[in-house]
């Protein structure tokens, strides 16, 4: 049926659309739903933000690794404490005047476990960003596909009204002759003209809706263009159900659990001994005795061992356990919602496909009835009112089929959204 509509539409396009003056269509170009999805993915500022966050995470990892290496600094200080008339700082403490110019290298002694835990935290943060990015990509695919389906439905509706409009125009010419020969009453002919004009208005209204939905499709995709381009029929197939364990929606909960474990390890690290060593060299003098000989070097170390913090460690672990309980609560609720949502979508899709098959069979009967009534109309063996009723039945059945098909495509789109 759709192929027949397109064939008639392409023949009558220039004549009918110049008559209604409602849309401008570029038939030479066709676009698929994937074209708009790819554009939206490329133009999305949110995905670019996630990409930049991942680059920043790589820099954090490099900065952390750089901190494991020796840290070299150059420093210089000078003091002068004068003693005037016996008043001033005790020279035994202030040395009167001092000066130093040193280069110092510090090295924190970091065990492999500490290094691995700190790097794991950065990796988990990157995994969290990737999980959020994957969900955002899925959201974009879903929203673009929804709008594409709506726009394609408008195009389909417009093409169908074109077919009916052409059919009524053809019958109008024959009815005009029959009315002039008094085969039909003039009032019946005028009633038919009203139906023809209503169909023309429907065509114009649908064309405007097509332009509006097309503009929104471009808007969501980040495309700056007002041209209405022919869209290919969206081919959507429900993907096999894979379960929740591999879903991108569950990855965030898994990563959050690992991040909480890593946070606990980070807290425990703060209660382990920490040590560092240093070496410096340069000039350090109080100018009291042979200052020109005060060039030298020194080495040293520092060790810190936490002993008591008032029970903060235990309280922090309790906080993390509360967060874990909250995470599990959200996960359990999401799991129930997910299962209910998927089961409902599968059930609705099955019912919609069965209804679509019934409507398709009904359309074949209505098409046959119109063909028979059209022949009877030429001979005056059927009233115009009965013919208009047959056309309205055909219109209503076709409209129902398109609405059911739209609902079917939307259900598949939602099912594929969750089943990923």
Q: Do 148 and 36 fall within a single domain?
A: yes
Beta strands 97-109; 274-285: pairing state: antiparallel
Range of the domain at 283: 75-109+277-305
Q: Do 257 and 175 fall within a single domain?
A: yes
pLDDT digit string (tens) for the chain, length 420 residues: 333 323 323 333 333 333 333 333 444 468 899 999 999 999 999 999 999 999 999 999 999 999 889 999 999 999 988 888 888 888 877 778 899 999 999 999 888 888 999 999 999 999 999 999 999 999 999 999 999 999 999 998 898 888 878 877 777 776 777 667 676 677 777 777 887 888 888 889 999 999 999 999 999 999 998 888 899 999 898 888 877 888 899 999 999 999 999 999 999 999 999 999 999 999 998 888 888 889 999 999 999 999 999 999 999 999 999 999 999 999 999 999 999 999 999 999 999 999 999 998 888 888 888 788 777 777 777 777 777 788 778 888 888 888 899 999 999 999 999 987
Q: Do 264 and 386 fall within a single domain?
A: yes
Q: Do 86 and 227 fall within a single domain?
A: no
Q: Do 403 and 258 fall within a single domain?
A: yes
- Which strand (E) or helix (H) includes residue 17? helix 2-20
Q: Do 126 and 251 fall within a single domain?
A: yes
Q: How far apart are CA 9 and CA 256, in angstroms?
A: 55
In total, how many domains does the chain have?
2
Q: Do 192 and 330 fall within a single domain?
A: yes
The DSSP string of 220-287 is HHT-----EEEEPPP---PPPP--STT-HHHHHHHHHHHHHHHHHHHHHHTTS-EEEEEEEEEEEE-S
Residues 290-318 as b or e (16 or more Cβ within 10 Å = b): eeeebeeeeeeeeeeeeeeeeeeeeebee
CATH for 388 = 1.20.1600.10
Q: Do 407 and 301 fall within a single domain?
A: no
- Angular region, 122: left φ>0, alpha ψ -120 to 50, beta rest: alpha
Give the residue among 27, 32, 414 at the shortest CA–CA distance from 235: 32
Choose one of 257, 286, 305: the last residue of a domain: 305
Q: How far apart are CA 96 and CA 86, in angstroms?
A: 13
Q: Do 164 and 210 fall within a single domain?
A: yes
**What is the pTM (predicted TM-score) of this model?**
0.79
Q: How far apart are CA 190 and CA 248, in angstroms?
A: 61
Q: Do 88 and 177 fall within a single domain?
A: no
Q: Work out the number of other CB atoms within 10 angstroms of the CB of residue 239.
A: 11
Q: Do 17 and 52 fall within a single domain?
A: yes
- Angular region, 311: left φ>0, alpha ψ -120 to 50, beta rest: left
The 3-state DSSP class for residue 73 equals strand
């Amino acid at each position: 049926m759709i192929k027949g509509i397109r064939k008639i539409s392409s023949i009558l396009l220039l004549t009918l659309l110049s008559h209604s003056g409602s849309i401008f269509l570029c038939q030479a170009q066709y676009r698929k739903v994937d074209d708009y999805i790819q554009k939206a993915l490329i133009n999305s500022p949110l995905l670019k933000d996630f990409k930049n966050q991942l680059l920043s995470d790589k820099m954090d990892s490099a900065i952390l690794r750089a901190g494991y290496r020796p840290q070299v600094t150059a420093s210089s200080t000078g003091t002068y404490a004068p003693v005037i008339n016996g008043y001033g700082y005790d020279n035994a403490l202030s040395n009167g005047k001092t000066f130093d110019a040193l280069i110092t290298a510090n090295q924190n002694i970091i065990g492999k476990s500490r290094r691995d835990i700190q790097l794991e935290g950065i990796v988990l943060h990157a995994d969290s960003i990737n999980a959020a990015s994957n969900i955002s990509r899925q959201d974009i695919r879903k929203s673009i596909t929804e709008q594409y389906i709506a726009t394609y439905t408008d195009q389909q509706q417009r093409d169908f009204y074109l077919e009916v409009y052409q059919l009524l125009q053809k019958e109008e010419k024959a009815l005009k002759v029959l009315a002039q020969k008094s085969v039909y009453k003039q009032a019946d002919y005028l009633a038919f003209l009203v139906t023809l004009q209503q169909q023309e208005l429907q065509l114009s209204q649908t064309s405007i809706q097509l332009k509006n939905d097309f503009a929104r499709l471009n808007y969501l995709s980040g495309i700056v263009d007002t041209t209405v381009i022919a869209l290919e029929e969206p081919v959507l197939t429900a993907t096999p159900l894979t379960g929740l364990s591999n879903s991108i929606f569950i990855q965030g909960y898994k990563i959050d659990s690992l991040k909480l474990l890593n946070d606990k390890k980070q807290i425990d690290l703060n209660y382990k001994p920490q040590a560092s060593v240093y070496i410096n060299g340069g000039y350090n003098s109080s100018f009291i005795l042979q200052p020109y000989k005060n060039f030298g070097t020194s080495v040293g170390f520092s060790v810190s061992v936490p002993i008591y913090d008032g029970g903060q460690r235990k309280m922090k672990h309790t906080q993390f356990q509360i967060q874990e309980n909250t995470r599990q609560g959200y996960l359990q609720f999401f799991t129930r919602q997910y299962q209910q949502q998927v089961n409902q979508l599968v059930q609705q899709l099955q019912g919609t496909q069965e209804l679509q098959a019934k409507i398709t069979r009904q359309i074949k009967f209505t098409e046959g009835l119109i063909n028979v009534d059209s022949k009877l109309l030429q001979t005056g063996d059927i009233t115009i009112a009965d013919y208009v009723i047959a056309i309205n039945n055909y219109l209503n059945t076709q409209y129902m089929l398109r609405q059911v098909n739209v609902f079917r495509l939307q259900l598949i789109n939602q099912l594929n959204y969750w089943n990923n």
